[in-house]
C-alpha cells in the first residue's frame, strides 16, 4: 500500500546496565512541531498524559496487559530506552484524503524486564502507543487495560452497541456529558470522539491483527475504559437466520490466545484544536502495517452500481423485459455503468439460488454471461455473500476468480472478537491471492487491515442510507469526524428521490432518502470510500441526467483534502482535489431553521488560474420540497467568496475545472 521516501531517519538509544524497579521515572516526548507533549510516567504502573499547546487534553492514560502469570505494566522493571525521529512520505495505494502523507513523528520505546516493551509515537496530529512482547510460545491475554481520563465536563460522542458485543456498528451516535456516562450504560464501539476544554480527541486503534477489537465504557467520572469480547469456544446456529449468524454459547477465560513474540495493536489519540483537524487525521493509515501484497496493479477502487436499495426494478420506454434480479436487468445496469464510466456492478443478496451455496446462481441469473457482457463493456462484477457462507466454503475465492468475478461483498460479521478479527484477515489474504477485491458489510471500523491488504476497499460500520427514514443528516453530519475519520466506509449514497423527514414515506422499489437533492449529491465528495455506490435506479438516473453526470464524475480517491468549515453537529464543508480539479461539498444537519448561511472563500484554488464551476444548490423551496435544486454554471478564481444558503437537511456541491 505504501511506497516510502525516507527524508530523514535517525535513532539513538541507551539502556541501563542493571535492570531497576522504576521509581516514578518520567520520560518526556513531544511532537515534531512541539505542540503536543506527552509526559510518560513509570512507577508502580505505566501511565502518560497529553498536552496540546501546554494545556492538558488527556489527563491520564493507564495501560497494562494481563497474562496468566503476570501483568505487563504493573510493578515494571525498567531496563532501558530507545528514542528517535522519523520523517518520511507515505504514498497510499488507495488515497482517501491525500496521495502523499507526511509521516513525521518522534518515538520513545521503553524496555522492561519480563520480555516486553511499550512504544510511544508523538505525531503533529496525535499520540499512539502499543505493547511489544518477546515471550516464548503461546500466551493467553486475559485482559488489556486502556483507561483514559478527561475532565468530567467533557462532551463525548459515541456509537453505542445496543446488542452488547454483537453489533453491526450501525447504531446512531449519542452525545452526552462524559461524567454522565455510567459503567452501567451501553459500551461504545470505536472510534470515540471527546470534546474537552476547547480541544478535540478521537480515540481509535490500528494494526488490529490476531487480536480482539477494543470497545470502551464510561466510568461515570470523566474516564473511559477498555472492554473486550472473550474468545468464542463454542457456537450454534442462530435459528431464525442460520445462513448468516452463529450464537456464542461458551467463551474462554481469555480475550486473546496468540504468539508470545508479537506487536500489539496501536491505541491512538488524534488531537486537534478544531474539529476540522480531526477530519484530516490519517493516523489509522500511518500506523497500519506495510502491504503484504507485492503487485497492486489490479487493485482499482471505483464507483459501483447497486441493485438492492432500489429493488432491481428498472422501467421506462427502453425496458422491454420483466425486471428484477435476473440477467436482463443486470445487463441493463451494466449498460448504464458503462455509459457513465462506472467500473463495477454489485449483485446483492438474491443472485444465488441459496444463500448457503455460493457456487450455484439463481436460475434467473447467468453469471458467466454477465461476466462476459461486463468485460466487453469495462464493468466488473461483485457478488454478495454472508460471512458464514464464506467460512463454510473458503475455496470460493479461487472459483470466483476462475469465473472472472472482480470482488466480493461479505456481510453480517457483527462481531470483533479475536476469531472474527482473524476471519477478516483470512478473507483479505485469500481474496488477494486470487486477485479479488473485498468490501465488508456489517463490519467494524477500519483498523489497519486495509494497509496490509489494500484489496480491502471499504467497511460499512455506519448508519447508512439502507436505514431509509432512520438515516438522518443530523447523524450523518458526524461521520467525517468519527467513522470516516478512521478510514473508508460504505454509506451507499445516490438517492434521486429526496424528502424532508416530516413527509417521508417510501418502500423499495420506490426508495427515498431524507435530505435534499443537493445534500445527497454533496455526499459523494464529503464521504470517503474505495467502493462508492450509486444506490438508486438507473431508470431514474437516466431521467436525472444532469445530476447523474455530476456524481459519476466525482473521484473515489484524492490528492488533497481541506476542511473549509466544521460546526459540530450542524454543518461541514470540505474541498478535495484530484489532479487540477477541485470538488467542494457542504452539508447542513441543523434543523433549527429552514436556512443556514455559510460563507466560503476559494483560497484553495491556484492563484494563476480561472476555473469553470458547475454547482448544485438547494432550490428556494427545498426546506419543504427536498427535490428542489438548482444547477449553476459560472467561473471562479483564487480568493473569491461565495455565500451559500443551505436548506435544513440540505447541501451544496461544486466541481471546479481549471481552464
Nearest residue to 409 via CA among 457, 371, 444, 355: 457
Q: How many CB atoms lie within 10 A of CB 363?
A: 8
Cα 79 from Cα 14, distance rounded (Å):
9
DSSP code at position 74 = B
Question: Terminus-to-terminus CA distance in the chain, angstroms?
Answer: 33
Count the residues in the chain.
659
Q: CA–CA separation, 239 vs 159, rounded Å? A: 28
Task: Please list, in sequence order, all residues whose beta carbon lies within 8 angstroms of the beta carbon of residue 592, skipping any fewer than 6 positions away.
Answer: none
Cα–Cα distance measured from residue 659 to residue 657, given in angstroms and rounded to the nearest whole number: 6
Rg for the chain (alpha carbons), in Å?
A: 25
Task: Note every long-range contact of 570-573, with CB atoms under 8 Å and residues 24 or more positions apart, other chains counting.
Answer: 570/477, 570/596, 571/477, 571/596, 571/598, 571/646, 572/279, 572/477, 572/480, 572/481, 572/526, 573/598, 573/600
Alpha carbons 445 and 606: distance in angstroms, whole number: 35
b/e 107-118 (16+ beta carbons within 10 angstroms → b): bbbbbbebebbb
Q: CA neighbours within 13 Å on the CB side: how many for 52?
A: 19
Q: Which of 287, 320, 279 is nearest to 565 (CA)?
A: 279
Distance CA 296, CA 394 (A): 22
Cα separation values, 553 from 10, 31, 35, 381, 521, Å: 43, 39, 39, 20, 11
**Who contacts 446 (Cβ-Cβ below 8 Å, separation ≥6)?**
284, 459, 486, 487, 488
DSSP state of 241: T
Cell of 355: 444463500
Q: Name the residues annotated as catalytic.
A: 411, 466
Q: Please say whether the beta carbons of 638 and 609 come within 8 A.
A: yes
User: Quick check: 98 and 560 in contact, CB under 8 A?
Assistant: yes
Query: Which of 248, 221, 220 shows the shortest CA–CA distance to 236?
Result: 248
Amino acid at each position: 500500500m505504501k511506497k516510502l521516501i525516507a527524508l530523514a531517519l535517525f535513532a539513538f538509544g541507551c539502556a541501563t546496565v542493571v535492570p531497576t524497579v522504576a521509581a516514578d521515572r518520567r520520560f518526556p516526548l513531544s511532537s515534531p512541531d512541539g505542540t503536543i507533549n506527552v509526559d510518560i510516567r513509570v512507577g508502580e504502573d505505566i501511565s502518560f498524559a497529553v498536552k496540546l499547546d501546554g494545556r492538558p487534553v488527556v489527563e491520564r492514560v493507564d495501560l497494562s496487559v494481563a497474562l496468566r502469570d503476570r501483568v505487563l505494566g504493573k510493578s515494571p522493571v525498567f531496563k532501558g530506552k530507545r528514542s528517535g525521529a522519523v520523517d518520511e512520505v507515505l504514498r497510499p495505494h488507495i488515497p482517501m484524503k491525500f496521495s502523499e502523507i507526511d509521516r513525521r513523528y518522534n518515538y520513545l520505546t521503553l524496555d522492561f524486564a519480563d520480555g516486553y516493551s511499550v512504544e510511544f509515537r508523538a505525531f503533529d496530529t496525535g499520540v499512539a502507543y502499543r505493547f511489544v512482547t518477546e515471550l516464548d510460545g503461546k500466551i493467553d491475554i486475559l485482559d488489556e487495560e486502556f483507561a483514559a481520563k478527561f475532565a468530567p465536563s467533557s462532551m463525548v460522542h459515541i456509537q453505542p452497541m445496543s446488542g452488547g458485543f454483537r453489533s453491526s456498528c450501525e447504531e446512531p451516535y449519542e452525545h452526552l456529558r462524559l461524567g454522565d456516562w455510567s459503567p452501567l450504560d451501553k459500551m461504545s464501539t470505536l472510534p470515540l470522539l471527546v470534546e474537552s476544554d476547547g480541544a478535540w480527541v478521537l480515540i481509535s486503534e490500528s494494526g488490529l491483527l490476531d487480536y480482539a477489537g477494543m470497545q470502551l465504557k464510561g466510568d461515570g467520572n470523566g474516564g473511559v475504559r477498555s472492554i473486550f469480547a472473550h474468545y468464542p469456544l463454542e457456537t450454534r446456529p442462530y435459528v431464525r437466520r442460520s445462513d448468516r449468524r452463529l450464537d456464542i454459547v461458551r467463551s474462554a477465560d481469555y480475550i486473546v490466545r496468540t504468539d508470545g513474540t508479537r506487536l500489539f495493536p496501536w491505541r491512538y489519540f488524534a488531537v486537534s484544536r478544531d474539529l476540522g483537524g480531526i477530519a484530516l487525521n490519517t493516523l489509522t493509515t500511518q500506523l497500519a502495517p506495510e502491504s503484504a501484497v507485492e503487485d497492486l496493479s489490479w487493485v482499482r477502487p471505483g464507483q459501483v452500481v447497486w441493485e438492492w436499495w432500489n429493488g432491481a426494478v428498472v422501467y421506462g420506454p427502453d425496458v422491454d423485459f420483466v425486471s428484477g434480479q435476473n440477467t436482463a436487468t443486470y445487463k441493463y445496469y451494466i449498460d448504464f455503468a458503462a455509459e457513465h464510466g462506472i467500473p463495477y456492478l454489485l449483485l446483492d443478496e438474491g443472485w444465488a439460488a441459496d444463500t448457503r451455496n455460493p457456487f450455484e446462481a439463481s436460475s434467473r441469473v447467468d453469471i458467466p454471461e454477465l461476466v462476459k457482457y461486463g468485460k466487453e463493456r469495462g464493468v466488473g462484477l461483485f457478488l454478495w455473500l454472508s460471512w458464514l457462507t464464506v467460512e463454510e466454503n473458503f475455496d470460493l475465492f479461487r472459483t470466483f476468480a476462475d469465473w472472472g468475478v472482480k470482488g466480493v461483498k461479505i456481510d453480517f460479521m457483527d462481531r470483533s472478537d479475536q476469531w472474527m478479527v482473524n476471519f477478516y484477515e483470512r478473507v483479505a489474504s485469500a481474496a488477494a491471492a486470487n486477485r479479488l477485491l473485498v468490501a465488508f458489510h456489517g463490519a467494524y471500523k477500519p483498523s489497519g487491515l486495509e494497509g496490509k491488504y489494500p484489496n480491502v476497499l471499504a467497511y460499512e460500520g455506519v448508519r447508512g442510507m439502507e436505514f431509509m427514514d432512520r438515516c438522518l443528516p443530523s447523524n450523518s453530519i458526524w461521520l467525517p469526524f468519527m467513522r470516516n475519520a478512521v478510514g473508508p466506509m460504505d454509506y451507499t449514497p445516490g438517492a434521486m428521490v429526496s424528502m424532508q423527514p416530516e413527509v417521508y414515506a417510501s418502500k423499495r422499489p420506490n426508495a427515498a432518502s431524507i435530505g435534499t437533492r443537493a445534500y445527497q449529491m454533496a455526499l459523494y465528495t464529503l464521504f470517503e470510500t474505495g467502493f462508492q455506490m450509486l444506490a438508486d435506479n438507473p431508470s431514474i438516473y437516466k431521467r436525472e441526467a444532469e445530476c447523474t453526470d455530476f456524481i459519476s464524475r466525482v473521484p473515489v480517491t484524492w490528492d488533497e483534502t481541506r476542511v473549509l468549515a466544521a460546526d459540530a453537529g450542524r454543518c461541514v464543508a470540505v474541498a478535495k482535489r484530484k489532479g487540477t480539479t477541485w470538488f467542494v461539498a457542504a452539508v447542513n444537519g441543523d434543523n433549527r431553521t429552514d436556512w443556514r448561511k455559510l460563507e466560503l472563500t476559494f483560497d484553495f484554488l491556484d492563484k494563476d488560474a480561472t476555473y469553470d464551476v458547475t454547482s448544485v444548490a438547494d432550490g428556494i423551496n427545498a426546506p419543504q420540497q427536498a427535490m428542489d435544486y438548482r444547477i449553476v454554471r459560472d467561473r471562479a478564481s483564487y480568493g473569491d467568496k461565495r455565500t451559500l444558503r443551505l436548506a435544513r437537511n440540505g447541501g451544496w456541491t461544486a466541481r471546479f475545472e481549471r481552464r
